[in-house]
A and B are shown apart, each in its own frame.
Chain A
Amino acid sequence: MTTVYDAGRATNPAARGGAAAPQDSLLTRRRRRAAWLFLAPMILVLALVAGWPLLRTIYFSFTDATLYDLEYHEFIGLLNFYYLAIDPHWWRAVWNTVFFAVVSVSIETVLGMVIALTLNTHMPGRGLLRAAMLIPWAIPTVVSAQMWGWMYHDLYGVINEIFLFVGLIDQPRAWIADPDLSMYAVIAVDVWKTTPFMTLLILAALQLLPGEVYEAARVDGINPVKVFFKVTLPLIKPALMVAIIFRTLDALRIFDLMYVLTGNSRATASMSVYARQQLVDFQDVGYGSAASTFLFLIIAAFTVIYITVGKVNFDQGGK
């Protein structure tokens, strides 16, 4: 084998004529065939676990299938979606999800930014601090829900104790049971658990910033706050946007946090909680699937935004 590839061809100009071209394309063709062969198992598995179940779920949403017997069902058109549209509990779940996503992601963004800026300054023990940040992120959501559920306990919870001590409240509160408080309690757990993720993404962006700009700003004596808004923020904006959309997507499909902390409570049920309750607890696969399909459409819309805003670079590299 003398000249099959670009590199080899350059060292052997004799083969550059008519002989090389078909040989080259033969190699390319062989590589392409191999590529598809290598992709086949992955595509097959994804089609089996993602494509097919999704299509079936969408199909079920037009039927009256029940969990008891999935096979015997009838096509009922858009009836499920009609019932969904007139169900106040569903709209409550939609509102809960949107409220949860907007509030928690906003707090996480601001808090993540503050912590990332702190971690980005030179100080002793920075590595240790960054390691500490990973703790909440590494703890399973179910576990954090249980941990906080205990801290929120109306009689023996440490939160009530601390808040009473500091004087933030004058009597113990039932953080989970009180429908006026429970959503905020859920949001606080999510903020605790996922701010580290936001921080890490922002920190990664901050560390790529050119130091000279800041040197110049300091020499010129420009106010740090002004530097942040005029220099830092615009520079990390792309990374920040991607992080925000990423987190929003995650927040919109939230399930385990609410389910473990507050059960199926109407005050906090997210769209995923509502859909699963219909599907599993009430065995109404058709109706539950309609709710799932609706959520899927919302997420799909956001995914399109993610891909557009994130300007995911597909055609970099490769040959």
Chain B
Amino acid sequence: MRSRKIVGRVLFYLLVAFIVVYTVFPFYWAIVSSLKAGSGLFQVEFWPANPAWDNYVGVFQGQPFGRNILNSVIVAVSVVVLSLFLAVTASYSLGRVRFRGRTTLLLVVLSVSMFPQVAVLSGMFELIRWLGLYNNLLGLILSYMIFTLPFTVWVLTTFMRELPKELEEAAIVDGASPWVVITRVFLPLMGPALATTGLLAFIAAWNEFLFALSFTLSNEMRTVPVAIALITGTSQFELPWGNIMAASVIVTVPLLVLVMIFQRKIVSGLTAGAVKG
């Protein structure tokens, strides 16, 4: 009985170890590969014998990668700020005021968050061209609202519902208008919710690929995912894998740091967005 228990424990920890290796290894491998220079890349070594930063330097030389990072930051931050701004007032209405058509509106918002992006591609293309925003970061900011806005509205509405009723009542008794209620009473309480929702929206915008690929043309206007997908080498047949891995690590590390700091909040944000519905 006792030995069976020990075997069980050992198997259990083997499973845990396997899960960890499976989850972490690809990223570990990207880091290891990014530190190998020259022909070292083409030998399978699980630890780089002579770590070198050549790839990290190289990635900024062949293409405007610094500019690409800046583009991604500009787009993602703008999208988050805009979405949160629009979503705070909207979620107050959807979460705390009863009015006819509210359920329908919530359903519409939810449906939009399910949209396959390709379904609006041609219409969006026309719109962006018509507004003169093709190959312009503003075009990306505008188009990204299609997935960040429904998401932020949805999660913040769930949050708004749970705020205590008494707070609002007290403010109304004191003669506060709905605008004052939102900005003075609720907004200070929403810090954590705004941070979580904002971070998740930021990640979504940072990672977006289809619109960024379709609505930009020049290297200078590309966002990071498009730049990474389109890195090409000196010859058509030889991809500069070292550079690609270095670029991959560069764009992932800040995200990972953010995610690790906010991990608890992110988990609750994810479940609020999906399970609670």
* A and B held together in a complex: yes
Interface residues of chain A, those whose CB is within 8 Å of chain B, are 1, 4-8, 27, 30-32, 34-36, 38-39, 41-43, 45-46, 48-50, 52-57, 60, 65, 67, 70, 114-115, 118, 121, 123, 129-148, 150-151, 153, 155-156, 158, 161, 192, 196-197, 200-201, 204-205, 239, 242-243, 246, 249, 252-253, 255-256, 259-260, 271-272, 275-276, 279-280, 285, 288-289, 292-293, 295-296, 299-300, 302-303, 306-307, 310-319
Q: Which residue of A lies closest to B173 (CB)?
A: A8
A252 to B118 CA separation, bound complex (whole angstroms): 11
Note all chain A residues with C-beta closer than 8 A to B26.
136, 144, 147-148, 151, 192
CB <8 Å contact, A141 and B98: no
A293 to B178 CA separation, bound complex (whole angstroms): 41
Note all chain B residues with C-beta closer than 8 A to A1.
173-175
CB <8 Å contact, A135 and B23: yes
Min CB–CB distance B204 → chain A (angstroms): 10
- Which of the residues B114, B121, B150 comes within 8 Å of A276, measured between beta carbons? B121
CB <8 Å contact, A50 and B225: no
Starting from the known contacts A67-B125, A138-B255, A276-B214, 4 additional A-B residue pairs (CB-CB under 8 Å) come to A34-B93, A142-B229, A293-B119, A318-B96
In the A-B complex, the 3 residue pairs with the smallest Cβ-Cβ separation, listed nearest first, are: A53-B123, A317-B161, A56-B123
- Which of the residues A42, A135, A161 comes within 8 Å of B256, measured between beta carbons? A135
**Quick one: given A46-B150, A50-B146, A140-B252, are A41 and B121 in contact (CB under 8 Å)?**
no
Does B92 reach chain A (CB closer than 8 Å)? yes
26 pairs from A and B in contact (CB 8 Å cutoff): A1-B173, A5-B173, A7-B173, A27-B172, A34-B177, A35-B93, A38-B92, A53-B146, A54-B120, A132-B20, A136-B23, A143-B252, A145-B229, A147-B26, A155-B42, A192-B26, A204-B267, A255-B117, A255-B118, A272-B116, A276-B118, A288-B121, A295-B119, A296-B115, A300-B114, A318-B102
- Which of the residues A129, A137, A146 comes within 8 Å of B20, measured between beta carbons? A129
**Quick one: given A139-B252, A150-B241, are A55 and B123 in contact (CB under 8 Å)?**
yes
Min CB–CB distance A257 → chain B (angstroms): 9
- Which of the residues B12, B251, B267 comes within 8 Å of A143, measured between beta carbons? B251
Q: Which residue of A lies closest to B41 (CB)?
A: A156
CB <8 Å contact, B169 and A7: yes
CB <8 Å contact, B29 and A147: yes
Note all chain B residues with C-beta closer than 8 A to A201.
270-271, 274-275
Does B86 reach chain A (CB closer than 8 Å)? yes
Does B259 reach chain A (CB closer than 8 Å)? yes
CB <8 Å contact, A38 and B252: no
Does B109 reach chain A (CB closer than 8 Å)? yes
How many B residues have CB within 8 A of the partner chain?
106
CB <8 Å contact, B106 and A314: yes
A246 to B111 CA separation, bound complex (whole angstroms): 12
A200 to B92 CA separation, bound complex (whole angstroms): 28
* In the complex, per-residue mask of B87-128: 1 if CB is within 8 Å of any chain A CB, else 0: 101101111111100110111111110111111111111110
Min CB–CB distance B106 → chain A (angstroms): 5
**Quick one: given A296-B116, A319-B97, are A118 and B19 in contact (CB under 8 Å)?**
yes
A14 to B76 CA separation, bound complex (whole angstroms): 55
CB <8 Å contact, A39 and B105: yes
- Which of the residues B23, B97, B173, B175 comes within 8 Å of A35, measured between beta carbons? B97
A319 to B29 CA separation, bound complex (whole angstroms): 53
**Quick one: given A60-B123, A135-B24, A289-B122, are A299 and B114 in contact (CB under 8 Å)?**
yes
